[in-house]
Structure 1
Amino acid sequence: MEYQFIRDPITGYRVRMSQEHALVGRWLNEELAIADVKSFVEQMESIVSSQDEIRIEGREVRLILSKDEALFEAHSLYQNDVDLSRYEDDFLELDEDGLVAGCGFEDFQALMLDWQAFTQGRR
């Protein structure tokens, strides 16, 4: 998983990720508050020794975290109340690419530890 951390004087801390993991970056940038990073990393450590799963419902992105993987799903993936057939004449369709992303637990844990170090000025 490729990522780049950015310290922007206007928007604050940001992460830029590859297209394949853009939803992960969106979750970090928009859903997880910088103040909550430390407690989230601690919560992740408890998953390693248990069979538990963490589900975090964000405003726009859901995270399902188990000891094997981190799965990110955009809520718009499940919007069934929109009648897409009315857009058929315009050749528009729901593009599911970018609405789901996943990675292994170890990769996600490394990202979160790097993010924690960066946002706390240790990197």
Structure 2
Amino acid sequence: MEYQFIKDPIAGFKVRMSQEHALVGRWLNEELPLTEVASFLEQLQGVKHSTEELKLEGKEVRLTLSKDEALFEAHSLFQNDVDLSRYEDDFLELDEDGLSAGCGFEDFEALMQDWYGFIQSRKLRR
């Protein structure tokens, strides 16, 4: 998983991820407040030593975390109440690319630790 951390003077802390993992970056940028990263790392440790899954429902993205993997799914994947057939004449369809992404637990844990370290090191430089 490739990523780059950025401290933008206007937008603040951001992560850029490869296209394949763009939803993971979106979750980090928009769903997990910077003030909650440390407590989330503690939750990760709990999942690591458990057989239970952790499901976090964000505003637009759901994270399902197990000791084996992290799965990110956009809520728009679950919009079953819209009849898409009525849009066929307009050639509109739901593009599912970018609406789900996943990675192994260890890779996700490393990303989160790196993210936390980046945030902490930049806060100290103020």
The verdict on a shared fold, with TM-score over 0.5 as the criterion, is yes
Counterpart of 1:9 in structure 2 is 9
Helix, strand or coil at the partner of 1:52:
coil
Distance 2:81 2:67 in 1: 34
Number of residue equivalences: 123
Give the drift of 1:84.
1.3
> What TM-score comes out, normalization by structure 2 length?
0.93
CA RMSD of aligned residues (A): 1.3
The equivalent of 2:89 in structure 1 is: 89
Change (3 A) 1:7 1:122: closer
> Which residue of structure 1 lines up, in the alignment, with residue 100 of structure 2?
100
- Please list every run of 5 or more consecutive structure 1 residues that lacks an aligned counterpart in the other structure: none
Matched, 1:57 2:85: no
Identical columns (%): 74
Letter in 1 for 2:29: N
1:122 Cα deviation from its structure 2 partner:
6.2
One-letter amino acid of the counterpart of residue 111, structure 1: L
| SS class of match (2:4) | strand
- Residue 117 of structure 2 corresponds to 117
SS in 2 for 1:85: helix
Mapped to 2, the partners of 1:7 and 1:83 lie a distance apart of 42
| Segments ≥4 residues shifted beyond 3 Å | none
Measured after TM superposition, the shift of residue 86 of structure 1 is: 2.1
Is the partner of 1:15 in helix, strand or coil? Answer: strand
Measured after TM superposition, the shift of residue 62 of structure 1 is 0.3
Q: Secondary structure at the match of 2:121?
A: coil
Tell me, in whole angstroms, the C-alpha distance in 1 between the residues paired with 2:83 and 2:8. 39
- Residue 91 of structure 1 deviates from its aligned partner by 1.3
